[in-house]
């Protein structure tokens, strides 16, 4: 596409900006900013996961608070992240000093936005566990917490991971926006570039953020594939085996003792 005078020749700009080694190193280089971005995102994801995974598992296990979770997850999507970030900033910035003025509002916004997808992933994961697996576990003498940790949680892992994955993407995107209140990370290139009318810097930063998001997504897909029991993903030799049997066997530490579950009773 021949870029006219009005349209910025974005690709040449990006190539030129990114091929300047000075933009990669130092305090405000791409490498340092990428690490900052990953650091803030990682901290927020861990905090959100520590809160939301146990809560989601317990809600899925007991069935209590189900209504609240379903509605919360839907309603949370409607919260505009930029508005939430600014409200937290206005409220917290005068109350704390130094770096905390932008750090706290940003991290809280990231955690708040990450909790609903993780919570609903964990909850839906436990709820989708085949009742037969649960019954089998109880029949083997497992108590409630043991059923949750050794059968329901492993069976719920695929959905727990997909919750974490959407939360991670939400965090990476919102951390970019948080540069406007002063957070470090790759968003700096977008916001600072805009202030100084440096379009190549903005566009290059935007491209790097997009690539980072794709990589994060890819890593989560990979982790999901390898962290989840082979019986659940269909990897491995006994791919056709129904996952519930496998889970119960895995839970019991057995291999071949259980007979195949009656296939006619599979979920509708």
Partner 1 sequence: MTWFLDHIPEVLDLTYRHVYLAGLPLLLGLLIALPLGWLARRYRPLYLPFTAGFGLLYTIPSLALFILMPGFLGRQILDPVNVIVAMTIYTVALLVRTVADGLAAVPDHVNNAATAMGYGRGKRFFAVELPLAVPVISAGLRVAAVSNVSIVSVGAIIGVQQLGMLFTDGFYRFFYDPIIVGVVGCILLALVFDLVIVGVTRVLTPWLRASGGHP
Place of tokens 């999507």: 77
Residue 6 as a binder of partner 1 (CB under 8 A): the answer is: yes
User: Among residues 147, 180, 228, 247, which is the contact residue for partner 1, using CB under 8 A?
Assistant: 180
22 touching partner 1, by CB under 8 A: no
Q: Contact, 179 vs 96, CB < 8 A?
A: no
Rounded to an integer, what distance in angstroms lies between the CA atom of residue 101 and that of residue 154?
Answer: 40
Q: What is the DSSP string of 78-90?
A: HS-HHHHHHHHHH
234 binds partner 1 (CB under 8 A): no
CA distance 40 to 31: 14
CA 190 to chain centre: 23
Which one, 64 or 235, has the nearer CB to partner 1?
235
Does residue 169 touch partner 1 according to CB under 8 A? yes
Choice between 50 and 239, CB closer to partner 1:
239
Question: Hunting for tokens 């009742």 — which residue is that?
Answer: 131
Interface with partner 1 (CB under 8 A), residue from 17, 89, 123, 161: 89
Least separation in angstroms between residue 75's CB and partner 1 is 8
How many residues form the binding site for partner 1 (CB under 8 A)?
A: 47
Q: Is 257 in the site for partner 1 (CB under 8 A)?
A: no
Phi, psi of 224 (to 5 degrees): -60, -40
The least distance separating partner 1 from the CB of residue 41, rounded to whole angstroms, comes to 11
Q: Which is nearer to partner 1, 10 or 140 (CB)?
A: 10
CA angle 128, 260, 161 (to 5 degrees): 30
**CA gap 56, 33 in Å, rounded:** 33
Q: Which residues bind partner 1 (CB under 8 A)?
A: 1, 3-4, 6-11, 13, 74-75, 77-84, 86-87, 89-90, 169, 172-173, 176-177, 180-181, 187, 190-191, 194, 199, 202-203, 205-207, 209-210, 213-214, 216-217
């Amino acid at each position: 596409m021949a870029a006219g005078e009005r349209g910025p020749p974005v690709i040449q700009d990006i190539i030129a900006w990114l091929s300047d080694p000075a933009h990669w190193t130092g305090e405000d280089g791409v490498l340092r900013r990428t690490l900052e971005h990953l650091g803030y995102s990682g901290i927020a994801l861990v905090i959100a996961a520590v809160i939301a995974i146990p809560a989601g598992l317990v809600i899925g296990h007991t069935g209590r608070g189900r209504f609240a979770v379903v509605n919360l997850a839907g309603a949370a999507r409607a919260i505009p992240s930029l508005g939430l970030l600014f409200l937290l900033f206005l409220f917290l910035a005068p109350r704390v000093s130094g770096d905390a003025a932008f750090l706290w509002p940003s991290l809280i916004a990231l955690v708040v936005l990450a909790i609903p997808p993780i919570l609903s992933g964990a909850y839906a994961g436990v709820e989708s566990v085949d009742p037969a697996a649960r019954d089998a576990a109880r029949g083997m003498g497992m108590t409630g917490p043991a059923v949750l940790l050794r059968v329901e949680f492993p069976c719920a892992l695929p959905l727990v991971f997909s919750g974490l994955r959407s939360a991670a993407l939400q965090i990476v995107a919102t951390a970019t926006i948080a540069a406007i209140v002063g957070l470090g990370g790759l968003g700096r290139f977008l916001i600072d570039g805009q202030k100084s009318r440096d379009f190549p810097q903005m566009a290059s930063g935007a491209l790097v953020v997009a690539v980072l998001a794709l990589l994060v997504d890819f890593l989560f897909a990979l982790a999901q594939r390898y962290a989840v029991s082979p019986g659940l993903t269909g990897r491995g030799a006994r791919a056709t085996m129904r996952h519930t049997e496998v889970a119960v066997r895995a839970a019991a530490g057995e291999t071949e003792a259980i007979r195949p579950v009656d296939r006619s009773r599979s979920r509708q």
